[in-house]
């Protein structure tokens, strides 16, 4: 145990907290914070155009962002030790709420995702995006790493059970994100490559079974993805119009507020899931490279924070949460550009909408907490 | 600090850093893939997607030109574009169409036809297009709907331009009508110029002058959204409206002429011999051209089509009648100009004519004959035997070639579609068409304008005009000039140069005019009933046989049914000194030309010569 008053030599050398001045007291990480603010600002500019210059939508998004940043700041104040202690409880609560959703959840847009808590509606699956990696990280950090097969099996169950429950709602996008969060923890924990290889092989073998389990509309999405031109006015319409928007943007784009595809409503869901296409149309490849650079910076900073974390729990959780952000980014952009099938995943911190925003920012709050509480941490 | 847990911690940290680096690499690789995909879309296929994006949003909307108007010689409108009100429904804005239709039916009469058309159009048009449920709303309907408008969201009254013919029946055959473009016409017209135009000229001037009246289509390039709704106008090329045409025709004269026919059918054509301008062109009965504009109902059409009076048939241009005795002045002149006879030479008329060595008697209309007859008397009293003789002596070849100079047997080339050429028989024609030799008897009856000889009223009037102008043969012309709204100067339509018939002896023409003048002004003239103090008229009456009287039988007007009665013909020009108008009138089954057709011609000449002096003086220059 390192005494609280006497940090190790290694710690003092690489501790950036001391050099951050005013933000140090708030437990915020300046580079990460700058990246997030830059990304959100860019997002608001695009949203203004994508929403047909609706100040109302921009204001609403600003309020949500404010709320999400507040959540991030609050979470950043909680020491990782505390988070680690809460992990099993949070997971248990999450599972109970998922059961509640399945039993008497609110049905919206054909899926049962919401829990009406009187004052506000809550989406328990969002909680699981944090609770699952926290739980798995807690469970694995309890023992020596890499985990033995018995722990691995239990960890796998901890992931699969909530993922199946969410998939049953049905919410393919969220279940995918929750599953990847859990799997990243396992990956970072050092699961052997041989195991990873067999897992991938198993997934391939299970694909036909998965196909059988999928709902009709989900199957349709996969079919559409494989050949969007097959049904240009039906389910292929989204992808075709999105590709036209991106392609017609060219290198420098049509200019802000000048995107015809989005302003004339050819592009569906232009301010939410397909906002990336608006950006590509108006700002071109140049604008996209700027956006991707910001994302890359945030992800690399997150991974760096994870490597610098003081305990295994922090390292696993920080790394997994960071990589989930990338999954968001890749699944969304892959869908919009026609690389992946249509899965309802927003462009993180840019798409209009609140629920995932709060979860994402809470995740960044955890990252900041991990990074700024190091000197206080016992090992 | 060699505790195992710390060792583990360091190893775990190394593993994680290792895995984090691998993750970062995978992130970079996947982002690279994404960027590759984007370069593929945004650089390699940029042009392709730009085209698609452009096609998505830019649509061309044709702007139909306003059709040119048609005026008569006095500026009276014969064809115009009237805004009419129609009740239209925009399905997008209506919650329950059936309920709305039921509601509308309670305040405005909606027929089965209206409903059928609405349902048909609804399938063709987009949801936000407004579709007519009832056209030609009257003021009462408009008012009634206006009061109830708030009950019917999505239903509105729209004004459209509809072709209208205020003179109706009187000018129907001249002006013609427009109606919806049919599939056959679509193949022949320049579809790009007709994009957005729904109607096209079907008959009359509306058809002949279609190119001038129609104008040039405009184009509007608009930006549309995903629903096809117009967002803004990118480019606007306004249409060029059709030109207005001004006619020689006098609308009032048309109406007066139509009225003068009473309950008889027939045709009347009046020409100004100095210009070739058609002053009146009447075919009776007419029809209401307004019925055709918005599509005539099949019952109304069948009624017109199957009527015994055949109102859709333009008798003035297409009616081919034997000229009867109205051919005599031309044949007489032929006799004079070919030196077959002299004006004063008298021939005896015993009441019949026989070819040498033939039994057959060609009868005169006057049973006991006219006695000694010179050319003046032969015209004044319309002696048939004189002309049997003359024709026989002249022979078919001379007669036929002289008559052809007056335009008989060929189209007049009037600027109106559909005219028929009539028939001027000749030896050559008979051999070619029937492969039979010409018989002398056929020459004889041609002397009184019977046999194969057929003329249209228009030809007859134009030949009379040529007679009046002493041999100047003009192409009859309906349109006087054409104006464009943006220009004050009118342009004259292309006209063929008048042709002068070679005059052998001027006196022959003057003599014939004098003989024709005796028809009206003479004591025993066949048309002395129309004599007037105001001006002198040169004329010839005629009767065309519809049915042949057998040898030795008598034609009795009283016993022959109306359908079998002869056609009454009359040609005239006036004033004799300075002819201003030439007229041909045919009254079907009218009996004798002098009593039935001549008064109609007199009415026409009176109106033109006595009421319309200002315009006439101007035209004389």
* pLDDT, tens digit, 9 for 90 and up, residues B457-476: 999 999 999 999 999 999 99
Report the DSSP beta bridge partners of residue B83: B161
- Whole-angstrom Cα distance, residue B366 to residue B377? 13
CB nearest to B30's CB, from A249, A330, A337: A330
Distance from the A275 Cα atom to the nearest Cα atom in chain B, whole angstroms? 15
Q: Considering only CB atoms, which chain B residues are within 8 Å of A248? A: 46, 49-50, 52-54
- B28–chain A Cβ distance below 8 A for any pair: yes
Mean pLDDT of B496-509: 89
Q: What is the pLDDT of residue A116?
A: 62
- B348–chain A Cβ distance below 8 A for any pair: no
Distance from the B26 Cα atom to the nearest Cα atom in chain A, whole angstroms? 10
Higher pLDDT, A205 or A281: A281
Least confident span in A347-351, B251-255, B353-357:
B353-357
Q: SS3 for B5?
A: helix
Q: Considering only CB atoms, which chain A residues are within 8 Å of B1? A: none
Q: What is the pLDDT of residue B558?
A: 55
Q: What is the pLDDT of residue A88?
A: 94
Nearest Cα residue to B328 out of B445, B410, B500, B411:
B445
Q: What is the pLDDT of residue A200?
A: 85
In the numeric block, which tokens belong to residue B476?
Answer: 């009859």
Which of B67-71, B187-191, B431-435 is the most confident on average?
B67-71
**B328 and B378 Cβ atoms separated by less than 8 Å:** yes
Give the predicted TM-score (pTM) of the model: 0.66
Q: What is the pLDDT of residue B91?
A: 81
pLDDT tens column, B195-243: 878 789 999 999 999 999 998 888 888 887 777 777 778 888 888 889 9
Which of A318-327, B59-68, B118-127, B133-142 is the most confident on average?
A318-327
CB nearest to B49's CB, from A187, A247, A379: A247
- Whole-angstrom Cα distance, residue A305 to residue A325? 14
CB nearest to A339's CB, from B16, B28, B37: B37
Mean pLDDT of A136-154: 86
Residues 500-559 of B with CB under 8 A from A: none
- State yes or no: pLDDT of B553 exceeds 60: no
Domains of chain B: 84-162 (3.30.1390.10), 251-304+312-620 (3.40.710.10)
Q: What is the pLDDT of residue B562?
A: 62
B330: pLDDT confidence band, cut at 50, 70 and 90?
A: very high
- B14–chain A Cβ distance below 8 A for any pair: no
B3: pLDDT confidence band, cut at 50, 70 and 90?
A: very low
Distance from the A113 Cα atom to the nearest Cα atom in chain B, whole angstroms? 30
* Average pLDDT over all residues of chain B: 86
Measured CA angle at B539 (ends B536, B545), to 5 deg: 160
B125: pLDDT confidence band, cut at 50, 70 and 90?
A: low
Strand (E) or helix (H) holding B284: strand B278-284
Q: Considering only CB atoms, which chain B residues are within 8 Å of A323? A: 23, 27
CB nearest to B57's CB, from A144, A264, A338: A264
- State yes or no: pLDDT of B430 exceeds 50: yes
Q: Considering only CB atoms, which chain A residues are within 8 Å of B229? A: none
Paired sense of beta strands B538-544 and B567-574, if any:
antiparallel
Secondary structure tally for chain A: helices H, strands E? 15, 3
- B122–chain A Cβ distance below 8 A for any pair: no
**B603 and B257 Cβ atoms separated by less than 8 Å:** yes
Distance from the B155 Cα atom to the nearest Cα atom in chain A, whole angstroms? 27
**B548 and B520 Cβ atoms separated by less than 8 Å:** no
- B234–chain A Cβ distance below 8 A for any pair: no
Strand (E) or helix (H) holding A108: strand A106-108
pLDDT tens column, B18-35: 999 999 999 999 999 999
The distance between the two most distant Cα atoms of chain B, rounded to a whole number of Å, is 163
Q: What is the pLDDT of residue A364?
A: 96
- Whole-angstrom Cα distance, residue B22 to residue B28? 10
DSSP secondary structure letters along A238-276? HHHHHHHHHHHHTTT-S-TT--HHHHTT-STTTTTTTHH
Q: What is the pLDDT of residue A285?
A: 95
Q: What is the pLDDT of residue B590?
A: 81
CB atoms within 10 A of CB B547: 11
Mean pLDDT of A188-198: 87
Which of A208-217, B394-403, B553-562 is the most confident on average?
B394-403
Q: What is the pLDDT of residue B82?
A: 87
- State yes or no: pLDDT of A287 exceeds 60: yes
Q: What is the pLDDT of residue B497?
A: 84
* Catalytic positions of B, written as ranges: 325
In the numeric block, which tokens belong to residue B554?
Answer: 């008598």
**B577 and B514 Cβ atoms separated by less than 8 Å:** no
In the numeric block, which tokens belong to residue B144?
Answer: 């009634």
- State yes or no: pLDDT of B555 exceeds 70: no
A185: pLDDT confidence band, cut at 50, 70 and 90?
A: very high
The distance between the two most distant Cα atoms of chain A, rounded to a whole number of Å, is 68
Residue ranges of domains in chain A:
30-77+225-374, 88-189
């Amino acid at each position: 145990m390192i005494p609280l008053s006497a940090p190790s030599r290694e710690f003092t050398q690489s501790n950036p907290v001391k050099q951050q001045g005013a933000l140090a007291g708030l437990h915020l990480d300046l580079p990460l914070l700058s990246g997030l603010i830059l990304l959100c600002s860019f997002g608001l500019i695009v949203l203004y155009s994508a929403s047909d210059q609706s100040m109302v939508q921009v204001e609403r998004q600003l309020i949500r962002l404010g709320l999400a940043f507040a959540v991030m700041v609050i979470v950043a104040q909680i020491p990782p030790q505390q988070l680690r202690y809460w992990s099993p409880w949070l997971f248990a609560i999450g599972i109970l709420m998922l059961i509640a959703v399945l039993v008497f959840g609110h049905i919206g847009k054909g899926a049962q995702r919401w829990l009406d808590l009187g004052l506000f509606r809550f989406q328990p699956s969002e909680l699981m995006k944090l609770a699952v990696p926290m739980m798995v990280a807690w469970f694995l950090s309890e023992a020596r790493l890499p985990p033995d097969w018995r722990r691995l099996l239990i960890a796998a169950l901890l992931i699969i059970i909530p993922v199946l429950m969410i998939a049953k709602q049905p919410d393919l996008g969220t279940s995918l994100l929750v599953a990847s969060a859990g799997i990243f923890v396992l990956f970072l924990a050092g699961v052997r490559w041989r195991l990873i290889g067999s897992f991938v092989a198993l997934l391939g073998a299970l694909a036909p079974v998965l196909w059988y389990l999928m709902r009709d509309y989900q199957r349709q999405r996969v079919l559409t993805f494989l050949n969007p031109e097959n049904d240009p006015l039906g389910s292929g319409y989204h992808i075709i119009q999105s590709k036209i928007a991106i392609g017609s943007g060219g290198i420098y784009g049509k200019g802000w507020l000048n995107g015809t595809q989005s302003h004339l409503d050819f592009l569906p869901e232009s301010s939410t899931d397909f906002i990336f296409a608006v950006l590509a149309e108006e700002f071109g490849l140049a604008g996209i490279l700027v956006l991707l650079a910001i994302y890359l910076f945030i992800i690399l900073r997150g991974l760096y924070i994870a490597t610098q974390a003081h305990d295994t729990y922090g390292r696993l959780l920080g790394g997994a949460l960071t990589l989930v952000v990338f999954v968001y980014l890749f699944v969304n952009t892959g869908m919009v550009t026609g690389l992946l099938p249509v899965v309802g995943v927003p462009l993180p911190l840019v798409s209009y909408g609140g629920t995932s925003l709060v979860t994402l920012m809470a995740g960044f709050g955890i990252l900041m907490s991990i990074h700024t509480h190091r000197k206080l941490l016992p090992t | 600090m060699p505790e195992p847990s710390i060792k583990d911690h360091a190893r775990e940290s190394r593993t994680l850093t290792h895995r984090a680096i691998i993750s970062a690499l995978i992130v970079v690789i996947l982002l690279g893939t994404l960027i590759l995909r984007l370069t593929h879309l945004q650089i390699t296929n940029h042009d392709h997607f730009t085209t698609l994006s452009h096609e998505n949003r830019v649509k061309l909307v044709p702007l139909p030109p306003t059709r040119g108007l048609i005026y008569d010689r006095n500026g009276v409108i014969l064809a115009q574009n009237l805004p009419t009100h129609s009740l239209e429904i925009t399905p997008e804005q209506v919650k329950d169409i059936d309920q709305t239709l039921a509601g509308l039916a309670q305040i405005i009469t909606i027929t089965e036809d209206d409903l059928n058309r609405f349902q048909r159009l609804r399938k063709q048009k987009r949801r936000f297009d407004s579709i007519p449920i009832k056209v030609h709303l009257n003021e009462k309907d408009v008012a009634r709907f206006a009061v109830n408008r708030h009950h019917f969201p999505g239903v509105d009254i729209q004004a459209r331009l509809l072709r209208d013919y205020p003179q109706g029946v009187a000018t129907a055959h001249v002006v013609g009508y427009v109606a919806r473009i049919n599939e056959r016409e679509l193949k022949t017209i320049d579809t790009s110029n007709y994009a957005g135009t729904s109607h096209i000229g079907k008959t009359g001037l509306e058809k002949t002058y279609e190119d001038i009246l129609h104008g040039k289509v405009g184009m509007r390039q608009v930006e549309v959204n995903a629903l096809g709704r117009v967002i803004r106008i990118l480019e606007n090329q306004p249409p060029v409206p059709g030109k207005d045409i001004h006619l020689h025709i006098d609308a009032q004269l048309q109406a007066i002429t139509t009225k003068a026919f009473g309950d008889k059918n027939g045709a009347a054509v009046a020409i100004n011999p100095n210009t070739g301008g058609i002053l009146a062109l009447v075919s009776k009965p007419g029809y209401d051209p307004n019925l055709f504009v918005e599509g005539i109902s099949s019952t109304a059409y069948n009624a017109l089509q199957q009527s015994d009076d055949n109102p859709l048939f333009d008798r003035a241009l297409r009616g081919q009648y034997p000229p009867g005795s109205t051919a005599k002045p031309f044949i007489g002149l032929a006799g004079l100009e070919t030196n077959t006879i002299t004006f004063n030479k008298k021939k005896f008329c015993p009441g019949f004519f026989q070819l040498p060595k033939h039994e057959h008697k060609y009868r005169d209309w006057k049973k006991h004959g006219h006695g000694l007859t010179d050319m003046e008397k032969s015209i004044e009293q319309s002696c048939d035997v004189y002309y049997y003789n003359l024709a026989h002596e002249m022979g078919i070849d001379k007669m036929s070639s002289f008559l052809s100079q007056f335009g008989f047997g060929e189209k007049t080339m009037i600027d109106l579609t559909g005219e028929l050429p009539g028939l001027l028989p000749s030896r050559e024609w008979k051999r070619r068409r029937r492969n039979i030799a010409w018989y002398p008897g056929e020459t004889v009856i041609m002397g009184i304008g019977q046999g194969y000889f057929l003329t249209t009223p228009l030809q007859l009037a134009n030949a009379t005009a040529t007679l009046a102008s002493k041999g100047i043969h003009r192409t009859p012309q309906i349109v006087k000039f054409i104006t464009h709204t943006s220009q004050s100067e009118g342009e004259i339509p292309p006209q063929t140069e008048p042709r002068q018939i070679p005059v052998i002896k001027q006196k022959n023409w003057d003599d014939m005019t004098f003989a024709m003048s005796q028809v009206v002004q003479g004591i025993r003239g066949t048309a002395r009933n129309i004599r007037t103090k105001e001006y002198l008229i040169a004329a010839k009456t005629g009767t065309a046989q519809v049915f042949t009287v057998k040898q030795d039988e008598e034609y009795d007007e009283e016993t022959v049914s109306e359908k079998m009665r002869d056609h009454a013909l009359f040609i005239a020009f006036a004033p004799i000194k300075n002819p201003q108008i030439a007229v041909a009138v045919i009254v079907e089954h009218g009996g004798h030309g002098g009593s039935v057709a001549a008064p109609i011609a007199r009415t026409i000449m009176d109106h033109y010569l006595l009421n319309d002096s200002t315009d006439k003086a101007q035209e004389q220059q």
